[in-house]
Amino acid sequence: MASGSSLQPIFLGWNQPLLPLAAEWLWNAYPPTDQWDLSALTIVLPGRRATRQFGDMLTRFAAARNRTLAAPIIITTGGLPERLYQPTAPIANEMEQTLAWCQVLRAAPSASLEPLIANPPPQTPIAPWLELAGAVRRLHEELASEHFSFGDVANALAKETPAETPRWELLEKLANAYDATLQAVGRSDPYSQRRHATSGHLCQAPGDVIVVGAVDLNKSIRTMIEAIAPRVAILVGAPESEADVFDQYGCVLPTAWTKRTLQITDEQLVPATDAEDQAVATGQIISGWRAQFQLDQITIGITDEAMIAPVSQQLATQGIDVHAELGDPLIRSAPARLLSLIVDYIQTRSYRALSSLVRHADLHAMLTADLTSTAPDGEASAAYGNWLVCLDRLRSEHFPLRTTDPIPVAATDRELVGRLITTVDRWLEPLLVNESAAEIQLTDWCNAIRTTLDTVYSKRRQNLRGSWQQKLGQALVAIDAAIDRLSSVPQPLELSLPSGTIAEMLLAQIADVRLHHPANPDTIELVGWLDLALDTNEALCVVGLNEPFVPESVVADPFLPGGLRHRLKIADNDQRYARDAYALSLMMHSRPAVRWIVGRASAEGSPTPPSRLLAACSADVAATRTLRLLDELPPRPVVASIWSTDQATSNLPIPVPCDYNPPSILSVTAFGDYLRCPYRFFLRHIAKLRPLDDTVVELAANQFGNLIHDALEEFGKDGPKHSTNHDEVEGFLLDAASDLARQRYGDRPSAPVRLQITSALNRLKLVAKRQVERTQQGWLLWAAERQVDVQHNAVLMVDGTPFGLKGRIDRIDYHPDDDRWAVIDYKTHAHDPFKKHYKKSTDEWIDLQLPLYRHMLSALEIHADRDLVQLGYFNIGEKESDVRVNIAEFTPALYASADVAAADVVRGVREGRFIANPDAATNYDDYAVICQTGSIEHLFTDQDEDALEETQA
């Protein structure tokens, strides 16, 4: 039993980790009989990891001495106060406290709040009040944890800064109203209860209390410990010679530690640059320790949580598994992600949110089952099993914004996507019903979200076997608990809120929750900075001994600036520095191997100076150390990887066409694709692979061109195509384009699409002008959109065998006065048709579309010398000068060479020659992933290329 009428810390030394020393002390202080009975003890440690480790250690400690352990209660410092007194009413949780503050703040006259907030928000919406209530709650909590009331702060400021006192006096009045509000609903504030317990001498120890390694206790806890001092023992990880840098509670004294020299050696410091380099440095250190330490004897300290991913990935390449002691954020679990996606969709009802929501794996399976079970018979049923592609196609082709708007009538997947939206909305009906109300009760919304989530997870809750399923179950339990906290708010505190606000409150409740899973054997634990001081492993590598992570600083607090904190003697930057300086000292003294990685940039890329702790030395040493840490680093040696190889590339071959059945007909536009890259030609025209991107927000070049093209098609078929009346021609074109845009993009297209539609209309105005001019010159628009294929005898004779041609001629003009013909293609650019087809510098054809039209003339009923028929573009560029008919000047000799080039393409297609052209890659390559372009190293080696050529020969 601990004894003594005053607190006197017990110093156990720091020549080894504190927890084994504490176990030894307990063995001597509470000697065993037949068993080691510690059941009457309450052991207090600063962190959750330490409580778990110490419990396991005590069990092993007893077993090694042939005793069974009657385990003590082991808690964190935050759990101690409520074990020392009996509250007069149940403690309000964080949500209840915030709602009580919100009620008090809203009830106060606006004018009275001006010392706190210059412009109080209106009564509605309520979200700003909740935000203000949260800020006041946190301020109250921080001050109360140091045993200060708002009134205490007002009194402290009265003499030196009297202008500040009205704010704190107002907060004191509001705090009294807050306590009364909680009391009225049968709740109480934890810090008010603690203050009442200490002032009323109501604290009682449940037995002996052993405080181990808690060097940063707030004043509220210190006061309660003082109240039960005869039953308390405080164990400190430091030798007796260091007693002058600790107070009677075993807490660090900031004034002593800020002046202290820290015994860091430069050999322990490992400079590194960015996050990747820090991860590689970690891998090197661990690799060097493998001969000396087992993996479970090594700990990696992480000062910046963002470094967990790069360090984990680096060690994975070395065949080392890690376990993040910090836990997995609940917000990243499947149910929490689904919840977040639901909230986004309900608040926006956007197709963007819908696409993200239905991609969630748990929901996708449910929707697929629902849609396929209601699919119609016949060919349409196949699409229902591939409904996600249909949704993506709708988004990439029609750019709809909101699911509440009618689906564009031109959408081929209109019916299926409509059913998908209906299915999703039916699933979300409990929430959507509430959405129609401006504000709803917390409990009603909580019941609705429970029903919605249960629809997806109710069956899976019944079969939670295996590690992944257990993690799912853990996440569901945590989310259920958060919903329960919202729904169990006492009725007088319950507010009617917009559903979106409640959803954000729930997401805020789970934002900082972490799911902890047991570590597997033979793993290295990644441990946060605050847990490292009590770590028991022999080797420690700390990643990121940098500002602003160690020590953490608070530089911008509108209510409690640094000067006020210092005056009130509450947690300030000096206190944090002292805590971290002690932690660093304990780590260095208590184990044989320590390395500190000092980076230059965080995982986000922001600069990270070396920690101030590294300057706790003489000026000369600090200067030399800083120069070394910031000096140019030599190349870091390569760490052996389980994926290491002598090969320069991965030798992954580009997929080889197989079971190839040569086509007997091609479109005239496909010839140019083959000339640019035979392999990409194969992917597009033989394998029929097309890109599908649902992230685009504006029309692609071909979609923009099709809008103009199709309006001109209607003009050529049903419009006043021979008219010389400008207004008549322009009016028809603009009406046609507007109708097409409405059919394709709906009545309310997005802003980027609206701008593009306007641009298309402006170009068509210029087209109308050129069309009238051309008609006045004697040219008649003889035909539009004439479809030609092998049935019309459009063939190319190659090696004595006909090869079919197909195509759609945009426009055929005829000049009756001199019997001239022109075959014209609409192009929404200003390029010269000759240069788009023939490259003079290399004497090669790069496109064959226009020359191949010559082989279609008979099918078009054009009985003229095919080499004399004009071929060209109707350019429809941005500027007026770029809108014109542009005839290509091909000579008979060039036409002959074009036919030779076309024949070579046909032979290549017949023979299956589809070699990838490395020069064909562009910034907008649809097949970059398949062709393995744009990577650091081409994966396609010379040997692969030879093998591909042999396969296709």
In this structure, the answer to whether residues 342 and 474 fall within a common structural domain is yes
Q: Give ∠ CA 800-801-807 in degrees, rounded to 5.
A: 125
Q: Is 29 part of any domain?
A: yes
Position 941 confidence tier, pLDDT thresholds 50, 70, 90? very low
Residue 541 burial (CB < 10 Å; 0-12/13-18/19+)?
A: buried
Is residue 539 within 8 A of residue 550, CB to CB? The reply is no
Q: Is 169 part of any domain?
A: yes
Concatenate the DSSP letters of all residues of 539-550 into one string: EEEEE--BTTTT
* Dihedral angle, C-alpha 300, 301, 304, 306, nearest 10 °: 20
Taking the C-alpha atoms of residue 476 and residue 636, their distance in angstroms, rounded to an integer, is 44
Query: Residue 83: is its pLDDT beyond 90?
Result: yes
Position 637 confidence tier, pLDDT thresholds 50, 70, 90? confident
Backbone phi, psi, residue 874, to 5°: -100, 95
Q: Is 950 part of any domain?
A: no
The domain boundary, picked from 493, 515, 537, lies at 515
In the beta sheet, which residues pair with residue 252?
Answer: 246
Query: Token pair 């004897």 is at which residue?
Result: 297
Concatenate the DSSP letters of all residues of 483-515 into one string: HHHHHTS-GGG--EE-HHHHHHHHHHHHHT-EE
Residue 877's Cα: distance from chain center in Å? Answer: 40
* Average pLDDT rounded to a whole number, residues 620-629: 91
Q: Which of 416, 427, 415, 418 is nearest to 366 (CA)?
A: 427
Q: Is 52 part of any domain?
A: yes
In the beta sheet, which residues pair with residue 809?
Answer: 786
In this structure, the answer to whether residues 298 and 230 fall within a common structural domain is no
Q: Return all residues near 137 (Cβ < 8 A) that are at least 6 apart.
A: 94, 97, 98, 101
Q: Which amino acid is at 50?
A: A
In this structure, the answer to whether residues 37 and 179 fall within a common structural domain is no
In this structure, the answer to whether residues 73 and 175 fall within a common structural domain is no
Q: Is 142 part of any domain?
A: yes
In the beta sheet, which residues pair with residue 884?
Answer: 875
pLDDT given at position 556: 60
* Average pLDDT rounded to a whole number, residues 769-773: 97
Neighbours of 52 (CB within 10 A): 15
Taking the C-alpha atoms of residue 769 and residue 367, their distance in angstroms, rounded to an integer, is 52
In this structure, the answer to whether residues 566 and 608 fall within a common structural domain is yes
* Average pLDDT rounded to a whole number, residues 75-101: 95
pLDDT given at position 1: 44
Taking the C-alpha atoms of residue 953 and residue 945, their distance in angstroms, rounded to an integer, is 12
Sign, CA dihedral 667-673-678-683, equals negative
Query: Residue 401: is its pLDDT beyond 80?
Result: yes
DSSP 3-state of 105: helix
Query: Residue 512: is its pLDDT beyond 80?
Result: yes
Taking the C-alpha atoms of residue 679 and residue 677, their distance in angstroms, rounded to an integer, is 5
pLDDT given at position 4: 42
pLDDT given at position 527: 96
Residue 60 burial (CB < 10 Å; 0-12/13-18/19+)?
A: exposed
Q: Which of 659, 648, 704 is nearest to 686 (CA)?
A: 659
Query: Token pair 């300086």 is at which residue?
Result: 581
Position 498 confidence tier, pLDDT thresholds 50, 70, 90? confident
pLDDT given at position 947: 34
Is residue 717 within 8 A of residue 732, CB to CB? The reply is no
pLDDT given at position 326: 87
Position 564 confidence tier, pLDDT thresholds 50, 70, 90? confident
Position 123 confidence tier, pLDDT thresholds 50, 70, 90? confident
CA distances from 273 to 527, 551, 598, 720 (A): 21, 20, 8, 70
Q: Give ∠ CA 218-221-222 in degrees, rounded to 5.
A: 80
Peptide bond into 635 cis (omega under 30): no
Position 860 confidence tier, pLDDT thresholds 50, 70, 90? confident
Taking the C-alpha atoms of residue 734 and residue 726, their distance in angstroms, rounded to an integer, is 12
Query: Residue 551: is its pLDDT beyond 70?
Result: yes
pLDDT given at position 863: 86
Reading phi first (left if > 0) and then psi (alpha if -120 to 50, else beta), residue 10 is in: beta
Neighbours of 764 (CB within 10 A): 26
Taking the C-alpha atoms of residue 45 and residue 68, their distance in angstroms, rounded to an integer, is 22
H or E stretch covering 806 = strand 801-815
Q: Please, what is the angle between helix 334-348 and helix 466-487, to 10°?
A: 50
Taking the C-alpha atoms of residue 307 and residue 681, their distance in angstroms, rounded to an integer, is 44
Q: What is the pLDDT of residues 784-817, one digit of tens each?
A: 999 988 777 789 999 999 999 999 999 999 999 9
What's the domain count of the chain? 5
* Dihedral angle, C-alpha 29, 31, 35, 37, nearest 10 °: -30
Is residue 499 within 8 A of residue 449, CB to CB? The reply is no
CA distances from 15 to 21, 213, 246, 253 (A): 9, 15, 18, 21
pLDDT given at position 382: 65
Residue 752's Cα: distance from chain center in Å? Answer: 25
Q: Return all residues near 735 (Cβ < 8 A) that are at least 6 apart.
A: none
In this structure, the answer to whether residues 65 and 99 fall within a common structural domain is no
Position 646 confidence tier, pLDDT thresholds 50, 70, 90? low
Q: What's the pTM value of the predicted model, to 2 decimals? A: 0.83
Position 611 confidence tier, pLDDT thresholds 50, 70, 90? very high
Query: Residue 2: is its pLDDT beyond 50?
Result: no
Top-ranked range on mean pLDDT: pick from 144-153, 514-523, 942-951: 144-153
Query: Residue 934: is its pLDDT beyond 70?
Result: no
Query: Residue 647: is its pLDDT beyond 80?
Result: no
Q: Which of 253, 233, 214, 229 is nearest to 18 (CA)?
A: 214
The domain boundary, picked from 158, 174, 199, lies at 199
Rg (CA), the chain: 38
Position 559 confidence tier, pLDDT thresholds 50, 70, 90? confident
Enter the tokens of residue 364: 């996708």
Is residue 178 within 8 A of residue 101, CB to CB? The reply is yes
Taking the C-alpha atoms of residue 128 and residue 511, their distance in angstroms, rounded to an integer, is 19
Higher confidence at residue 443 or residue 27?
Answer: 27
Is residue 767 within 8 A of residue 629, CB to CB? The reply is no
Q: Residue 537 sits in a domain of what CATH number?
A: 3.40.50.300
Q: What is the DSSP letter of 521?
A: T
Peptide bond into 816 cis (omega under 30): no
DSSP 3-state of 46: coil
Q: Is 127 part of any domain?
A: yes
Enter the tokens of residue 757: 């539609």
In the beta sheet, which residues pair with residue 11?
Answer: 236
* Average pLDDT rounded to a whole number, residues 223-230: 95
Q: Which amino acid is at 657?
A: P
The domain boundary, picked from 606, 630, 654, lies at 630
pLDDT given at position 645: 59
Neighbours of 291 (CB within 10 A): 6
pLDDT given at position 163: 86
Residue 52's Cα: distance from chain center in Å? Answer: 32
In this structure, the answer to whether residues 891 and 821 fall within a common structural domain is yes
Taking the C-alpha atoms of residue 846 and residue 832, their distance in angstroms, rounded to an integer, is 13
Q: Return all residues near 644 (Cβ < 8 A) that are at least 6 apart.
A: none
* Average pLDDT rounded to a whole number, residues 203-224: 95
pLDDT given at position 694: 81
Top-ranked range on mean pLDDT: pick from 185-194, 383-392, 422-431: 185-194
In this predicted structure, which of 64-78, 431-445, 485-499, 841-855 has the lowest mean pLDDT?
431-445
Peptide bond into 548 cis (omega under 30): yes
- State the residue range of the domain holding 289: 266-327+525-630
Concatenate the DSSP letters of all residues of 839-879 into one string: ETTTTEES--HHHHHGGGTTTTT--S-TTTSEEEEEEE-SS
CA distances from 110 to 121, 483, 936 (A): 8, 32, 62
* Average pLDDT rounded to a whole number, residues 112-140: 91
Q: Is 222 part of any domain?
A: yes
Is residue 916 within 8 A of residue 677, CB to CB? The reply is yes
Q: Is 647 part of any domain?
A: no
In the beta sheet, which residues pair with residue 666?
Answer: 805
In this structure, the answer to whether residues 425 and 309 fall within a common structural domain is no
Enter the tokens of residue 907: 């032979």
Q: Residue 867 sits in a domain of what CATH number?
A: 3.90.320
Query: Token pair 């504000």 is at which residue?
Result: 439
In this structure, the answer to whether residues 382 and 448 fall within a common structural domain is yes
In this structure, the answer to whether residues 415 and 397 fall within a common structural domain is yes
H or E stretch covering 76 = strand 73-76
Taking the C-alpha atoms of residue 788 and residue 793, their distance in angstroms, rounded to an integer, is 9
Share of the chain above pLDDT 90, in %: 73
Position 5 confidence tier, pLDDT thresholds 50, 70, 90? very low
Higher confidence at residue 142 or residue 946?
Answer: 142
Q: Which of 671, 608, 654 is nearest to 852 (CA)?
A: 671
In this predicted structure, which of 460-464, 649-653, 681-685 has the lowest mean pLDDT?
649-653
Query: Residue 869: is its pLDDT beyond 80?
Result: yes
Q: Which of 602, 595, 610 is nearest to 542 (CA)?
A: 595
Q: Return all residues near 89 (Cβ < 8 A) that are at least 6 apart.
A: 182, 183, 186, 187, 188
Q: What is the DSSP letter of 636?
A: P
Please measure the distance between the N-terminal and C-terminal CA atoms of the chain and give it in whole angstroms: 90
Q: Residue 38 sits in a domain of what CATH number?
A: 3.40.50
In this structure, the answer to whether residues 821 and 907 fall within a common structural domain is yes
DSSP 3-state of 18: helix
Neighbours of 858 (CB within 10 A): 14
In this structure, the answer to whether residues 424 and 511 fall within a common structural domain is yes
